[in-house]
Structure 1
Amino acid sequence: MNKENEPPPKVEEPPGRITRARSKALGAGGGICSSSKPSFKQDQKRLLPLNSKRAASDENKASVTTSVGLQPKRRAVLKDTSNVYADSLYMDSINATKIQTTKQTIGDANNKEMIEDISMEIPLVEEDVKSKLAEDLSKIRMVEAQENTLAVILEERELAEPVSHGARKCGVADSQASTISVGLQSPREKEENEVCELLGASKGVVDIDSDIKDPQVCGLYAPDIYNNIRVTELNHRPSTNYMEQLQQDITPSMRGILIGWLVEVSEEYKLVPDTLYLTVSLIDRFLSLKLIEKQRLQLLGVACMLIASKYEEICAPRVEEFCFITDNTYTRGEVLKMESKVLNILYFQLSVPTTKSFLRRFIRAAQATYKVPCIELEFLANYLAELTLLEYNFLKFLPSLTAASAVFLARWTLNQSDHPWNPTLEHYTRYKASELKSTVLALEDLQLNTSGCSLNAIREKYRQQKFKCVATMSSPERVVSLFSR
């Protein structure tokens, strides 16, 4: 027999997946022979054609299982896969390009419409802004031109007819100047006019707070400040009859002697006038509340001046200096103990208005009618006000009333040809001339020393040349004749 006609030997396939070729071989041989083992070369020859058939069958199975929904193990065919992927990528890129081009054309059309709208709006906005700026600039230039014109006109009028500064500020200048200023007022003039209106300044009243540039003057707050201290002088005034009601060991003359001595002490240590006025106020307020023996009256005066010095002075005298001025009658401990007692009795309320508090403002109002400030008026009003410190009877008058009466009598002493009271003084003191009659008459008696008072400390002080010797001045005509007119 030829070898070609011989039946193929039974081959035992390794266990695994059964393919068509393997099942055919098994079916032809009648089974699997487990006794014979093929050599490596024979298996290699047989497996080569089987592998090609297996690949084809696997490919068919893959297509079938995929259609059924199973997921077999994929065997990549690089040529076919790469070509399909490349084609799909190429088609996707073409489609994406078309879509992007379509969107871009649509977006360009929308953008063009928006740009056209914005381009139409921008010139309109710019034109509005430019027109507003031009209007504002024209207004500013018109105001500047008007202010310059007004300044030139006012300067010419000042050279021709000098008008007082305060009257012009409150609109009391002549009618022509006021007519020009209407509608052509600068911001500063408007502010000053508002201040005058707030002050309630009427015709003939000079605004003494018009110098609003100086912060030390506090021109805008001065009316409120003095309104406040007018109320405070009522709340913190001493008793007007404590000598009769409370004190048993001291008299009004003892009080006068003590204050006369304190005037000399203030001159010795060059204390400011406010210290002297506050010292007297503290003494009277303490004596209105607490009984004291005459042996300790001087100690009370020293302690009150120590407190006032600490409150008013920049460099207050030391406690030892006040002990020395009393010829060491009282020790340092006694002075400090009395200081503590006074502060506790008065509840540390030291900010009280005195005659000096009002006198400054009233003198300033009196000086407003003078072209040149009168220094004698200031010294004479202060002299008359200090004379009242010695007199217990003047406690019945308010400090503001005493200050107004001192200014009234000082103006009358310096000039009897004109009435000493005017609308400006009446406005700022809030006293009419008729309300000052009793106080002015009592003050004139002190000036003329009709009672023959021997306390000359204040008189000697104001006889000095530095005070223009105002203590020697007196009016030839009594002031009572002024009230009888």
Structure 2
Amino acid sequence: MSRENVNFQVEERSGRITRARAKELSESGGILCSSKSSGVQKHILRANSKRMASDDIKTCSGSSHGLPNKRRAVLKDVTNISTKGFDKNCRNVSNIQGAKTTRKVSSKAKANAPSNAPEEILGAEEDANTRLAEDLSKIRVVESREVSLRETLDEKERTEQTRSLTSRECGVSDMILSVSSEESIPQPNEKYMAPQRSAALRDRGVIDIDSNSKCLQSCSTYAPDIYDRIRVTELDQRASTTYMEQLQQDITANMRGILVDWLVEVSEEYNLVSDTLYLTVNVIDRFLSQNYIEKKRLQLVGVASMLIASKYEEICAPRVEDFCFITDNTYTKGEVVEMESEVLNILHFRLSVPTTKTFLRRFIQSAHASYKVPCIELEFLANYLAELTLVEYSFLKFLPSLIAASAVFLARWTLDQSDHPWNPTLEHYTGYSVSQLKTVVLALHDLQLNTSASSLNAIRQKYKQPKFKCVATLTSTKSVLSLF
């Protein structure tokens, strides 16, 4: 066997030559099993392995020799992905494709590698795969850092925007608060501040009825301001005092009195509060002051007005059918509802108006301030005298507050004639002096005595009941004219 054949066989064999294989070759005449020949063989194999390892390394490093350029293309694609920073989905797809290509290239490298390649070739491939894995992990770390950095920047921007908006809102709210505190919110009036007010009232001989008030409904803290406002309102929302002569031609003052007297009986039938009765009469007078009405529809106006007042004042107002029934079905439900709408439109839905009852509560409280024990007869008698004026058309020319003050004046005089019924406390809280009450008190005293012999007795019968202490039967023995 020639030397070239020996070399061919050596190059064709792969792996280590064992003793059995060497013996087989020696017997066949291929290779002698001597130390020299084995040294030459080892030298040849080592040289071949070094050459192939260097070629493989050059191929992995991007050389033009050895394997094809697919591995370089894969690395170039991976580098482009890491530098250009495509969308997250594109990056994931590229990473997957790069990993698959790497696996294909490594498998092809293993397939194309010579069968007699030593362990160094496998080590070089493993080193290349390791570096590629490290590059991919670095790319993922950079991508995750970019994403986290982008999220952090977005969060900072949102935080700054929120802070700027909050600061603007705070600035606006501070501006509103400063403006409202200086301009919109009224400053406390010194005369209504509790300590100064009580001291000033004591100096004038006036009892402060709001300092020790335990009734929450009296609104003692704001009562002076409230009643000052009500005194202005009663001047603005008054009925005409001459609408019977100037506007109405088919009805008279006597017809109005008959209607009011009947409504008193209706309010008693349905147990309505006195506020409802006062508001009903107020609505009737204001409506008749602006709208002409025929005699046959006057009762319809009264029923619709009481329906409106009941809805405004009562907790459980009577139904429309109840008012139709009380009129003996003279009017249908549709007619009552239609008149209700007409009245509300004429009055522009202005129902929060001060009546005599509104002032009577405050003035009776002032009258009780001089009593050690509240007098229930005083309250009933003052209410009785005030309700007598509802029937009389002539009392429209007097303000509700003036009628209430006159009713308290006459009631005190009727119950106790040993002392003058007026005092500084009543004069302070009513705002009327004795001389200002003279005309109304004298007219009210005539109603109490029924000097005109009126047949409208619904109110008198109402206050003759024991639940009202029969105050309608009380009269004064002395002349009221001596008080002025």
Deviation of 1:203 after TM superposition, in Å, equals: 2.3
Q: Distance in 1 between matches of 2:358 and 2:260?
A: 19
Superposition RMSD on alpha carbons, in Å? 1.8
Is the CA contact 2:402–2:440 (under 8 Å) kept in the aligned structure 1?
A: yes
Is the CA contact 1:362–1:403 (under 8 Å) kept in the aligned structure 2?
A: yes
Q: Distance in 1 between matches of 2:354 and 2:214?
A: 26
Q: Distance in 1 between matches of 2:466 and 2:216?
A: 33
Q: Distance in 1 between matches of 2:228 and 2:194?
A: 20
Write the deviation string for residues 136-169 of structure 1: whole angstroms up to 9, x where unpaired: xxxxxxxxxxxxxxxxxxxxxxxxxxxxxxxxxx
2:331 corresponds to 1:330: yes
Q: Which aligned runs of 4 or more in structure 1 are off by greater than 4 angstroms?
A: 199-202
Name the residue aligned to 1:418. 419
One-letter amino acid of the structure 2 residue matched with residue 420 of structure 1: P
Deviation of 1:193 after TM superposition, in Å, equals: 1.5
2:206 corresponds to 1:205: yes
Following superposition of structure 1 onto structure 2, how do residues 49-448 of structure 1 map, counting pairs within 5 Å?
192-196=194-198, 202-211=203-212, 214-448=215-449
2:292 aligned counterpart, secondary structure = coil
Q: TM-score, normalised by structure 1?
A: 0.59
Quick one: percent identity of the two aligned structures?
Answer: 74
One-letter amino acid of the structure 1 residue matched with residue 366 of structure 2: A
Q: TM-score, normalised by structure 2?
A: 0.59
Is the CA contact 1:380–1:410 (under 8 Å) kept in the aligned structure 2?
A: yes
One-letter amino acid of the structure 1 residue matched with residue 428 of structure 2: H
Aligned length: 296
Is the CA contact 1:211–1:217 (under 8 Å) kept in the aligned structure 2?
A: no
Q: Distance in 2 between matches of 1:467 and 1:214?
A: 23
**1:291 and 1:191, CA in 2 relative to 1: closer, same or farther beyond 3 A?**
closer
Q: Distance in 2 between matches of 1:273 and 1:213?
A: 23
Is the CA contact 2:201–2:208 (under 8 Å) kept in the aligned structure 1?
A: no
Q: Distance in 1 between matches of 2:193 and 2:443?
A: 43
Is the CA contact 1:195–1:220 (under 8 Å) kept in the aligned structure 2?
A: no
One-letter amino acid of the structure 2 residue matched with residue 196 of structure 1: S
**1:435 and 1:202, CA in 2 relative to 1: closer, same or farther beyond 3 A?**
farther
One-letter amino acid of the structure 2 residue matched with residue 309 of structure 1: S
2:251 aligned counterpart, secondary structure = coil
Deviation of 1:217 after TM superposition, in Å, equals: 2.5
One-letter amino acid of the structure 2 residue matched with residue 444 of structure 1: H
Q: Distance in 2 between matches of 1:201 and 1:283?
A: 43
**1:204 and 1:195, CA in 2 relative to 1: closer, same or farther beyond 3 A?**
closer
Q: Distance in 2 between matches of 1:451 and 1:475?
A: 17
Q: Distance in 2 between matches of 1:341 and 1:211?
A: 46
Write the deviation string for residues 62-90 of structure 1: whole angstroms up to 9, x where unpaired: xxxxxxxxxxxxxxxxxxxxxxxxxxxxx
One-letter amino acid of the structure 1 residue matched with residue 330 of structure 2: T
Deviation of 1:196 after TM superposition, in Å, equals: 2.6
Name the residue aligned to 1:128. none
Structure 1 unaligned residues grouped into runs of 5+ = 1-39, 42-189
2:218 aligned counterpart, secondary structure = coil
Q: Distance in 1 between matches of 2:343 and 2:387?
A: 23
1:207 aligned counterpart, secondary structure = coil
Write the deviation string for residues 1-42 of structure 1: whole angstroms up to 9, x where unpaired: xxxxxxxxxxxxxxxxxxxxxxxxxxxxxxxxxxxxxxx99x
One-letter amino acid of the structure 2 residue matched with residue 383 of structure 1: Y
**1:400 and 1:217, CA in 2 relative to 1: closer, same or farther beyond 3 A?**
same
Name the residue aligned to 1:462. 463
Q: Distance in 1 between matches of 2:423 and 2:333?
A: 51
**1:324 and 1:482, CA in 2 relative to 1: closer, same or farther beyond 3 A?**
same
Q: Distance in 1 between matches of 2:432 and 2:417?
A: 20
Q: Distance in 2 between matches of 1:359 and 1:398?
A: 12
Q: Distance in 1 between matches of 2:381 and 2:359?
A: 15
Is the CA contact 1:212–1:220 (under 8 Å) kept in the aligned structure 2?
A: no
More moved, 424-433 vs 205-214:
205-214
Structure 2 unaligned residues grouped into runs of 5+ = 1-38, 41-191
One-letter amino acid of the structure 1 residue matched with residue 368 of structure 2: Q
Deviation of 1:478 after TM superposition, in Å, equals: 1.5
